[in-house]
Every structure is written in structure tokens, then in C-alpha cells.
Amino acid sequence: MDARTFFKYDKKTFDREKIDIFNQLNNSRDHSKDHSQTSKELMINTLKQEFSIPGEKIIILEKQKELEMQIEIERKKKEKERELKETERREVERKIKREIREIEKEKKMKEKEEQEREEKEQLYNYLLEKISNLNIIYDEIKIIDIENKLSGEIKMSYQTILNKNLITLIEEMILNADINARIRGDYLIFIKKDLIIKPEQQTFQHIKDILILRGGDWKIENKQSVFSYKVKVKNNSEFVLTNIQILLTSIPSGLISQSDKYVIDVLNPNSFESPTFKFSANESCV
């Protein structure tokens, strides 16, 4: 290494006299071995001390670079944490939106079901009024003539909304004691004597904390048409109900009931029981 090499490290603090001495030491071959070696070592140590600044700068630069790298790592870490929090926030927002959509969907479904129930009830009551009024004019009437008296819109409505034909609806009205009549062949025959008085009730009703639902359908059992009439009783109260008696007070003419009474001994809170009454047609009932 010559003086020019040292000169590159620090031009401002460079001492030209030390360079000359350094060159003289390198070029001198006439000195004694001991004296030359001692002077050389002394000068080299002196020069090392004088030119130690570039090394310190390198160390500082390395530390600065290391610090910058650490800062960059911390920055990326914080950025990653922000991204993670943002992702979690968006996921929470999406979850809330999904829950809101589900609630709105369920609400619309309930509104639709309630609307359909009201439409069915209104249509049933409309048909019941039409058929009941015929009792004033006729003793008996062909079912096809009843159907012809109804508008095409009403015919389409009970076929689509109630999903039943007119005969099935009339049978249901008879079984519910909504009309006092019976079916014989193609005719609906109104019974004007010994009228069956139907107690006032609805398709479903609340009696304090008791919910009562009823309905039925025709089924084939042992090659015979049997009407299964089911009554659902639910206890919505906070107390245990006992000795609940279900009694059928009105049975349509032409039908034979296998049983007209059912007793529920115990009905716990928020529980229900659904007894079934079965009716079969006698020989005079078609």
C-alpha cells in the first residue's frame, strides 16, 4: 500500500509530511535492520492511528444500514398488521351484511307466509259465504252448478292458492261444520232440520296462553276413505296445564266418528300435543 491508497480515504485530513516519511521508509534500504524495523513499526502505527477515521465511518455506515433495515422491517410489520386489521374489519362488515340479509330474507318469508295465509282465509270465507247463501234458495244443488256460478278468477284462485278442487273444499266446510249439508252423488244437499249449531271459533285461536290449531285431510285406510282431523294444542304459558279436554261438539251428518273426546292429562310449558280424530263415511254418504 502506498501513499496514494491512503489518500483516497480522507483527502482533507491527509498529512503530506507523513506520506513523505512513509515513502522514505519504504524506499530506504541503507538503514540498519534494527533501526529501520523499529522506525517503520512506529510510523505504521502512527499512520494507522491517523487513518482510522475511514474505518469508523464504515462502521457507522454499516450500523446506519442495519438501523434502516430494522426500521424497514418494523414498517413492513406495521403495514402487515394494518392490512390484517383491515381484512378483519372487512370480514366483520361482510358478516354483519350477511346477517342483515338473512334477517331481511326471513322477515320477507314470514310476511309472504302471512300474506298467503290471509289470502287463503279470505278466499275460503268468500266461497263459504257463496255456498251458504245457496241454502236460502235451494234444498239441493248440483256441485257443477255451484262451480258454474263462480267466476273464472275465483275458480283459478282456489285451484292455485288453496290447491284444492271445489268438492274437496265443500267436504272441508262440512267437516268443519261451516255449512249444514251433505254430499250425495253429484249433489250438495242442505239440511234444514235439526241444524247443527257450530260454536264460534277460528282456524287458529289464542285462549289466554293456549294455542289451538286444527285441520285435516282425507286418507285411504283399509280400502276405505277416512278423514283424519287433527287438533294441535300448545302451552305457551309458564305453568303446567292439566286435565285439558278436547270435545267434538259438531259432527257432520253422514260421517261416523271413532271418538269424539280426547283428554290431555299434563301439558308442560312450551310443549304441545296433537290428538287425531278419525271419521269414516256411512253407507248413505258418498
What is the spatial distance between Cα 253 and Cα 89, in angstroms, rounded to a whole number? 69
Residue 30 predicted with pLDDT over 80: no
Grid cell at residue 61: 455506515
pTM strictly above 0.85: no
Which stretch of DSSP H or E encloses residue 205?
A: strand 204-207
What is the spatial distance between Cα 153 and Cα 144, in angstroms, rounded to a whole number? 16
Q: Is residue 7 part of a domain?
A: yes
pLDDT digits 0-9 by tens, 140-179: 889 899 888 888 888 888 888 888 888 888 888 888 888 8
Q: Which of 1-10, 97-106, 249-258 shows the highest mean pLDDT? A: 97-106
Q: Are 280 and 256 in contact (CB under 8 A)?
A: yes
Residue 14 predicted with pLDDT over 80: no
Query: Do the bridges between strand 187-190 and strand 140-142 make them parallel or antiparallel, or are there none, so unpaired?
Result: antiparallel
What is the spatial distance between Cα 199 and Cα 191, in angstroms, rounded to a whole number? 18
Which stretch of DSSP H or E encloses residue 267?
A: strand 261-267
Q: Is residue 16 part of a domain?
A: yes
Grid cell at residue 138: 235451494
Distances (CA, A) of 226 to 106, 217, 221, 255: 37, 8, 6, 10
Mean pLDDT of the region 49-59:
54
Instruction: Give the bridge partners for 182, in sequence order.
Output: 189
Q: Is residue 59 part of a domain?
A: no
Q: Is residue 273 part of a domain?
A: yes
Mean pLDDT computed over every residue of the chain:
73
Q: Are 218 and 226 in contact (CB under 8 A)?
A: yes
Q: Is residue 133 part of a domain?
A: no
- Quick one: pLDDT at residue 204? 42
- Quick one: pLDDT at residue 201? 43
Q: Is residue 47 part of a domain?
A: yes
Q: Is residue 205 part of a domain?
A: yes
What is the spatial distance between Cα 177 and Cα 259, in angstroms, rounded to a whole number? 17
User: What CATH number does residue 281 fall under?
Assistant: 2.60.40
What is the spatial distance between Cα 257 and Cα 190, in angstroms, rounded to a whole number? 21
pLDDT digits 0-9 by tens, 247-273: 776 666 556 565 667 788 888 888 888
Q: How many separate domains does the chain show?
A: 2
Instruction: Give the bridge partners for 229, in sequence order.
Output: 216, 277
Which residues constitute the domain of residue 26? 3-51
What is the spatial distance between Cα 13 and Cα 50, in angstroms, rounded to a whole number? 8
Mean pLDDT of the region 7-21:
46
What is the spatial distance between Cα 218 and Cα 216, in angstroms, rounded to a whole number? 7
Mean pLDDT of the region 98-126:
88
What is the spatial distance between Cα 108 and Cα 236, in angstroms, rounded to a whole number? 25
pLDDT digits 0-9 by tens, 223-245: 677 777 788 888 888 888 888 88
Q: Is residue 193 part of a domain?
A: no
